[in-house]
Structure formats: structure tokens, C-alpha cells
A and B are shown apart, each in its own frame.
Chain A
């Protein structure tokens, strides 16, 4: 058996040991999900920039097609086409506010991946766990296609396809497909597919669960089968465009961009796309006939097709917008899927929040008013009425509320405010408010990154394994 196969078996075994109390064996889920020969094909690469730390250590790992930025240590792991974006890590001397406490950060934070298998996963942000401020760990964890590990240390977990763990420390958890979890700290929990859970103890608790039958059309994932459904078909249909940009060393410029904007070299941009000032386009984003106004952004694994984003729009990791018109400050959360038709478009009014993992898939025109909160699955006006509410009405909730499959307990006003503050923070971090000399963010700092490639052993027992590599300035 080759070293890479031994490594995969070892990781599966470690995850199984962690999940034994849930009575789970993830072997049939994961065994053939990525054939080993695929892991031998691709080079890894890392970014070099004056605006980010440069500190990498790769040891006894396979890094096929993965990208690294910042400070990242990977040991005994397989990272397949995964992006580890360490451009928001804490720096030595930063102060971390937690409840009433101000906790100093005593050294630069690192992303530490150990004994884990990450497939087409995005790792971003910083550890929000006050117990581990300097170490954003991902240990004994398997994450699958288009999962987002966002500011969420993880130990002994399985994260299903198109799932997101956001600002939450997770231990010994099984998170099934298309679930979004933001709950601070959780352990020994198993989540059904399409569970959307946002909890801030003593303030609010939001829960929505997708009807299984409806969700299966978009993503289904079961033992012994690779993830299937419309989401997978959708990304697969654009695969060739990405192959082109990963294969070519020097790409021709397809669009001109303002000096305050950033267009990643590994994003696909097709005509007629407009990129305005302070726009951030991250790698593996796909833009086709997309109009991005001032301060809008398209994060990793986003698809914006035949759509107009007025400005200051956040299109979070993995979100897809097709045939839609978004007024300013519309937020589209992680892995949301918004698809209208050429002659039956979707329009979304100013400030509205499309919550993470929302599906809007329409055959007739649909208009979402300004200042609305939207969640769940929406295929027509009736479902929009069931799965949305105005900020004004939601802010009136002081104790509890339920609507369809959505359950909310706590203070509605604080929930909306928390979202708005977070959206503002994302725009700020992305450089949307840059005025030429201050408020610079990723759109400005991520310019002028050069990329170096890393190659594994080409043949023999170590085929596909990368040699131990330390990279520092």
C-alpha cells in the first residue's frame, strides 16, 4: 500500500474513533469519495505578498491542488483542492474581546491542520475560541466538497458537502450536507442535512431545517455514494473554465479593473463583466456577464452570472447568483443558491439579508422587498411569504416566534443588528470603504500576490506525498 493510502486510512480511523459515541462510521461515506489517483495529479501553490505573513510548514501530507496564504502548518493530512486563506489571522499584540474580557494575543495566530482530510474546502477567518486564540486548529477532521470552515476550530468532526461551520468550535460532531452551524461551541452533536442553526446564548436562537425531499434535488449525500444533486451538477458544468486558468502560467487579461479593486489570478472572469472600485474577487470565483458595483465582493467559490450587484454587496463563500439584480448592501450568505431565468429575473431590494444556505430557485419573476430577512427554500411567491420577514416585524420579536420550519427564540432586534454589524465588518475587512488612503482591506492588500507552486514525489511509495517543506521570508 502506498504512503498516501496509509495516510487516508489513518485519518478515517482517527475520525471514526472521535465519532464512536454518535455510533457513526464514516468509512462508507468517504472511502471512494476522491480516488487516490486524483490526489496525485495536481500541484499545490502558495501566495507571497508583503501584506501577509509568510510562514508555512508542510509535513507528511498530500496537498493536491490546494492553496495557502499566511501562516499555516499542515501535518499528516490530505488537502485536496482546498483553500487555506490566512489573511485574517490575529497578530501578536492584538486584543481579543470576549464578553467583558480583553485578552491579549501573545503570538501571531497559525492555522494548524493535523490528521485531517479536507476536500474542496475553504478555511478562512480566525479562531473565535478564546481558549485557543493563537492556534486555529483543524484536527482529526474530514470535510467534504465545498464545505466552509470559517473561524471554527475543529477536532474529531465530519463536515458534509456544502456545509458551513462559522465562528464555532466543534468537537466530535457529524454535520450533514448543506448545514450551517454558528453556535459558539458544540460537541457530540449530529446534524440532519440542511440544518441552519444560529445561536448566541442568552440573546437569540434561530433554527431552520430544510424539508428533506426538497433538499435532495439540490444535494443528497448518503453512505457509499458521492455527493449528488443540482449543486454538484452546477459546479461541474463550469469545471473546464477553471481547468484553463489553473493550467496556464500567464493568463491574458480579460477585463480592466480599478486600482482599488482586486481580481484574483485564479478567478474566472468572462465578458461582459464590470468590476467597480473597491471590489474584491477571490480565487475560484466565477464571473460571467456580471456587474459588480463599488465595494461589492465575490468570495471563494462564488458564481455570479448575468447579474448586477449595485454596490457594497457581500456574496459570501460559495454563494451563487444567476439572472438577478441586487440593490446596494444586499447580503447573500454562504453557499446560498439564487437562480432565476433570463426572462424571469430575481430582484432583491436594498439591505436585505439572504441568510446563509438559502435556496431561491424560480421560474417566474420574483421581487424581494428592501430590509427583509430571507431563509430556507423559495420557489414562488407563496414560499417567499413563508420564508421571509421584514426587519421591522422581526425586530418586534422579544420572546419567541415560529414560521413554517423556522423557529426563533430571543430578541429579534438584536439578531438583525448582529447580522448588520457582521456585514459591515465583512465589507470593512474586504476594503469596500477604502477612500484612497485609509480603510484598506483585502481588495487593496490582496493585489500584487505572486504564486509559487509545490510538487509531490512523482513515483514510488511516496508518490503524491509532498516532502517536508518550511517556507519563511
Chain B
């Protein structure tokens, strides 16, 4: 089986959705859409946006989950529902309260509009130590890092500069591809015997 390194599977930053610090969330979403259209050769679509500082260095990442959470938290009733869930009420009761509370919330259109105008910094998460991997690192170590940190992707560095992103989907695809190869080879070998 081919020995993979991180740099073999990473997506270079040039192919990734990026925005400058100070951009709005709406601009970030447009950048994501553009990257998804431009790089359709990729088996899986990009799902995050990298935020760059004035010197084009990566300073953070905006994930889909982070945006969804921000929208969810804007409606106060969700917090209330999440809080009362732990007190042993039935799911039927929780759903009823949820429906009742929704009436008090602001309209979904207004909520989306307000959220899209906010700066990306609000949704950005700065890279943590366990989220960074060197481009020459072997794939098994990177897999370990993904599992331990429960990350969906890792930021790849070269000489301490972020140069790409290693996505779990690409790692999984590479592993799956290798599995298929091994299986085919073993079938061929059996036939020869």
C-alpha cells in the first residue's frame, strides 16, 4: 500500500475558500460558494472558510457548525429549551414548549439577514495546537490527531506557515481507495494460484 503523507492529501489554501479579517459572514459564504464552483474536481465540497490577516496568514476558521450555532443562539427560546431538557421532562412536553416559544422569536428572514451582516471574527475559531499538522507528517499520525481532537479537518503547515487543510473526508477517501486496491490484489493473487 502506498505510504501517504499529509501533503499528498491536503487541499492547498489557493483552492480553499478564504476571506480577509473584517469581512462579513455574507462575504464569507460567497467565497465558499465560489471555491465550491471553481474546484469541482474535488470529490467532496469545501465546508469551511479560512480567515486571513492583512499579510494573508491564516488566523482562524469559520465552520458550518459555528454559523448554525450562532443562528440558533439568537433565538432565546432555544437556550431555555436546552436548559430544561436536563430536568426529566418528556420529549412531547419539550416539543410543545418549543412550538409555543417559537411564536415569541424574531422571523427567520430577519434573523438570517442580521446574522449575514456580522463580521467573520464573531464566528471564527483560532487554530488550536492539536489542530495543526506538518505537511511532511505521515498519514497515520494525522489520523490519530483527527480522532483524539475530534476534528473534521486539520490545518497543514510548512515552515510554520499554514499552507493547506487536511480534511477528514479526503483522508477517509484515501483509506477506502487503498482498501479497495488491497482487496483487488488479493483476489488476483488467488486466481493466479
Contact = CB atoms under 8 A, between A and B. Distances in A.
Interface stretch (A30-38, A197-205, A345-353): A197-205
Interface string B61-94: 0000000000000000000000110111110110
A interface, over-half SS: strand
B87 A199 contact: yes
B95 to A, nearest CB: 11
B89, B90, B97: which has the most chain A beta carbons within 10 Å? B89
A207 B94 CA distance: 13
Contact of B96 (A183, A205, A400): A400
Contacts of B93: 400, 407, 409
A205 B87 CA distance: 8
A383 interface: no
Interface residues of A, number: 13
A181 B8 CA distance: 57
B96 to A, nearest CB: 6
Contacts of B96: 400
A292 B96 CA distance: 45
Given A400-B96, A402-B100, A409 B89 contact: yes
A409 B97 CA distance: 11
Contacts of A402: 97, 100
A192 interface: yes
A409 B84 CA distance: 12
Nearest to B96: A400
A402 B87 CA distance: 14
A49 B108 CA distance: 69
Contacts of A207: 84, 87, 89
Contact of B97 (A189, A197, A205, A407): A407
A209 B83 contact: yes
B88 A205 contact: yes
A192 B89 contact: no
Nearest to A186: B88
A205 B89 contact: yes
Nearest to A209: B83
Contacts of B97: 402, 407
Nearest to A199: B88
Contacts of A192: 83
Nearest to B87: A207
Interface string A397-418: 0001010000101000000000
Nearest to B86: A189
A209 B84 CA distance: 9
Interface string A173-184: 000000000010
Interface of B: 83-84, 86-90, 92-93, 96-97, 100
The list of the 5 closest CB pairs from A to B, nearest first, reads A409-B93, A400-B93, A207-B87, A409-B89, A199-B88
